[in-house]
Structure 1
Amino acid sequence: MSAWALVPLLGLSTPALAHGLFDAQLSERAPLLLSALLIGSAWLLYALGARHVPPRRSEAFCLHSAMLVAAFAVFGPIDDWAQRSTSWHMTQHMLFIVVIAPLWALARPLPQWRGVTGRFAQPLWTSILRAGRYPTLLALLHGAVIWIWHTPKLYVLALDNLWWHAVEHACFLFSGWLFWWSVLRANPKQVPQALMAVVLTLMHTGLLGALLTFGTVSFYGTGRAVEDQQLAGLLMWVPGGLVYLLGGGWIAWRWLTRIWRRQPAHRLDQSS
């Protein structure tokens, strides 16, 4: 696992140069530099923590895949395209919400991070674990974040100001991670709440996507084509909705599998 410690540096070096983090406009690129530092630190801590608490291969794959996608979404060309195109901006948002966030949840990185930070960050990990007990509440929080940042004023503000753009990304990633953590890691007693949370998120994101799709005027300024906005709505509505359906199906499948596994033992107890 020591080789993984070099991955954050390799993954961030090229995109950082492409976005001019080290040119004359370094002060203006400070939000991107801070984002790179946070993502790289989280990745490096996971790699170091994996030495103390070895993860499953599937979990490690999910974490490293999520980090690669995050580096591409934040520092790759898609971030430049998002400045000019509503559909590319929506693609960036969907990568945060329905790709990176669920991969982080499936990766279950807290044991590795706790293995490095020890007691120093224990209150943070405890708070995250406790929050995971309330899928419906986290779905409402995540939904509020999505709708608030898609209001015209905040949407344009995030495009015009790199600091607010970084805050927007952080809101999507953190609230999305908490949401997917609570539903994908729900225990059997929480399955009804988890399914309700997924259905609620599916419905309101579909509604937002429909509003963008069927809108006849540009919500985010005259410089953005209505057709591009409609494509953005379709991206949220169709591919995003499919991910939520898959998530709900996975939750139901895990729940039914647990029930089926208990049936033979229950029958043996009755026969004895």
Structure 2
Amino acid sequence: MNPLYWLEPWEPSPTVVIVMLVAAVLFARGARKAKVSFARQLSFWFGLGALYVVLHTRLDYFFEHEFFMHRAQHLVLHHLGPFFIALSYPGAALRAGIPFNWRQRFVRPALQTRYVRMTLDVLLHPVVAVVLFVGLIYFWLLSPIHFVAMIDWRLYRVMNWSMAIDGLMFWWLVLDPRPAPPARLSPGRRILIVIAAIPPQILLGAFIFFSTHELYPVYSICGRAFTWLSPMRDQQIGGLLLWIPGSMMSVIGALIALRHWMRLSARGRLRNERTARPGAGARPGTAPSAAQPRSAHGTR
């Protein structure tokens, strides 16, 4: 079989293609101007490629017809892909990839509007970030909601996009290498929020794994991709994917945030957090990556 066969979309989506192309073009244009290191470029392309694979290839058929494959898809959408994109710290490159006139006329005024600033302040609040990160997993795994999401293609796409966008926001907060300000959270708070997200994931994964009855019959009703795998075994593997790899990604995120904390402390950068006025160094509505593009190079 031709390997390119697996790259063909199961259900073509112009939205996925446009979003991926725009992100790729902006990063490729800006990486040269922002002097992004090879390691960071590799991290970005791996994360973006992982998101594309789970959103727009023939693998989507298996994601729709096996619970454990669906959990693997969301592990990439919510954890792995956004994690590596945030780890590359691409904000400066993406900003540099936008033509200067566009940044002045459209991007900056849009970010300075009251509505956008308030929305970002709410969504990127540490408590809200944790609740959304864990809450979306629970919400989409509620049996009645999951059933409808898997049979309605529109809700299915909303589910996938919500997981990817929320993952990007959460890991962007956690893996920001800068002191606060200009980062939204101090290194200590970054560690706390990612640790707070671990127990709920373990509890839900364990509940699914140890459940004695089939929680998600939609896969049996619509037909399973792997007929040799029993529904209960499929469900147990899906619970393990949420329980172990999902939690381990959070542990790795906490360790990276701790590394940033120790590095900033060794360089005396944390003194700025105690003396700087709250909000100084970044506009209230500006995304963390775009506020101080030069600092991205100095703190890596």
Map 1:38-187 to 2 at 5 A: 38-115=19-96, 116=98, 117-119=102-104, 120-122=106-108, 123-124=110-111, 127=117, 134-185=125-176, 187=179
Q: Is the 8 A contact 1:59 1:108 kept in 2?
A: yes
- Alpha-carbon separation, structure 2, partners of 1:36 and 1:45: 14
Specify which structure has the bigger relative contact order, considering alpha-carbon pairs within 8 angstroms and separated by 6 or more residues. Answer: 2
Q: Which residue of 2 aligns with 1:199?
A: 195
Corresponding residue for residue 26 of structure 1:
none
Give the C-alpha shift of residue 53 in structure 1.
Answer: 3.0
> What are the superposed Cα offsets for residues 175-222 of structure 1, whole Å, 9 maximum, x if unpaired?
111111111116367223212211111111111111111111111116
- 1:118 & 1:148 partners in 2: Cα distance? 37
- The structural deviation recorded for 1:18 is 4.4
Q: Aligned in 2, Cα 1:150/1:183: closer, same or farther, shift over 3 Å?
A: same
**Using the alignment, how far apart are the partners of 1:256 and 1:51 within structure 2?**
29
Q: Does 1:249 align with 2:240?
A: no
TM-score by length of 1: 0.78
Report Cα offsets for 1:31-87 as digits up to 9, x if no partner. x22222222222222222334433222221111111111111112233111111100
Cα contact 2:66–2:234 (8 A) shared by 1: yes
Give the TM-score, by structure 2 length.
0.72
In the alignment, is the contact (CA less than 8 A) between 1:136 and 1:196 conserved in 2? no
Q: Per-residue CA shift, 1:214-266, capped at 9, x if unaligned?
A: 11111111617122111101011111111111111121122123333449xxx
CA–CA distance in 1 between the matches of 2:258 and 2:41? 24
What is the rounded CA distance, in whole Å, between the counterparts of 1:233 and 1:55 in structure 2?
Answer: 38
Please tell me the root mean square deviation across aligned C-alpha atoms, in Å: 2.7
Contact 1:142–1:179 (Cα < 8 Å) also in 2: yes
Please say if residues 27 and 90 of structure 2, whose CA atoms lie closer than 8 Å, have aligned partners that are also in contact.
yes
Question: Are the equivalent residues in 2 in contact too, given 1:46–1:113 (CA < 8 A)?
Answer: yes
Contact 2:89 2:176 in 1 (8 A): no
Identity, in percent, stands at 21
Q: Secondary structure at the match of 1:236?
A: helix
Segments of 5+ residues of structure 2 without an aligned counterpart are 225-230, 270-300
Structure 1 unaligned residues grouped into runs of 5+: 1-12, 22-31, 264-272
Cα drift, residue 153 of structure 1: 2.3
- Does the aligned pair in 1 maintain the 2:16–2:56 contact within 8 Å? no
